[in-house]
Amino acid sequence: MRIAAISDIHGNIYALMSVLEDIDNENIDFIMCLGDLVGYGPHPNEVIALIRRKRIPCLKGNYDASVVDNDFTYIRDTSINSFVLPWTVNELRASNKEFLNNLPSSMTLEFEEKKITFVHGSPRRINEYLLQDSEETAEIMKDFQGDILVAAHTHLPGYKEFNDKLFINDGSVGKPMLGRPNATYAIIDIQGEAKPKVNFKEVPYEYKRIMKDMQLLDFPTRLIDGYESGTE
């Protein structure tokens, strides 16, 4: 069983299209989206439309939840977010806002007798950051009852074994923070009783196109520049 975990698309339709094309070449059996379809990027409606058309199961991310609330409920009140949040709320179609509102916050599925829990931030909070070596991750994995926990939100891919349990963060499709502009996602390979394998993919995409689109819409320069540098 080969599972692709994608997340943090953040209104970047060009990155999403490139990642889905890459997934098509990887003999993937199941795709799971861990949320944050919107925020930062200029194509929230197009991203949601593609996810819905492909019938990809999806969680609600913290930015999705804040857009639904039209408030800084789960995101930081920064100069960039003070522009992006109202812009996205205004841009998003009512049907797509309803779609985001109805997304679950977590999902637990079983593949090859392995129980996998998918979350956006953590099992505790939608906006908690879980890095592979952080104290918070160790705390959560100590009490985690499944076999594999897959999280997102940090925009940084990574994984770590905790005894017989596995923690994975799948990175970010639409706003990677690797110091490179490439989109990232995770492939989880589960074959019977063998130890699950994790592979992180970096996918080049036409990041200059999203930067040009954002410039035409007068998005903040610091936000635009981050797509080329692969930083916040």
- Percent of the chain at pLDDT exceeding 70: 100
Alpha helix locations (H) across 92-150? 94-101, 135-143
Residue closest to 38 by CA, chosen among 79, 85, 98: 85
pTM, whole model, 2 decimals?
0.97
Q: Is the pLDDT of residue 201 over 80?
A: yes
Q: Give the strand pairing for 148-151 and 114-119.
A: parallel
Range of the domain at 148: 2-229
List, for residues 157-182, the tens digit of each pLDDT value. Answer: 999 999 999 999 999 999 999 999 99
C-beta separation of 42 from 219 below 8 A: yes
Query: Which comes out higher in pLDDT, residue 191 or 173?
Result: 173
Q: Is the pLDDT of residue 51 over 90?
A: yes
List, for residues 82-117, the tens digit of each pLDDT value. Answer: 999 999 999 999 999 999 999 999 999 999 899 999
**The domain that contains 56 carries what CATH number?**
3.60.21.10
Residue closest to 32 by CA, chosen among 11, 10, 52, 6: 6
pLDDT band at 192 (very low <50, low <70, confident <90, very high): confident
For residue 96, what pLDDT is reported? 98
C-beta separation of 174 from 152 below 8 A: no
Give the whole-angstrom CA distance, residue 90 versus residue 74.
18
Total domains in the fold of the chain: 1
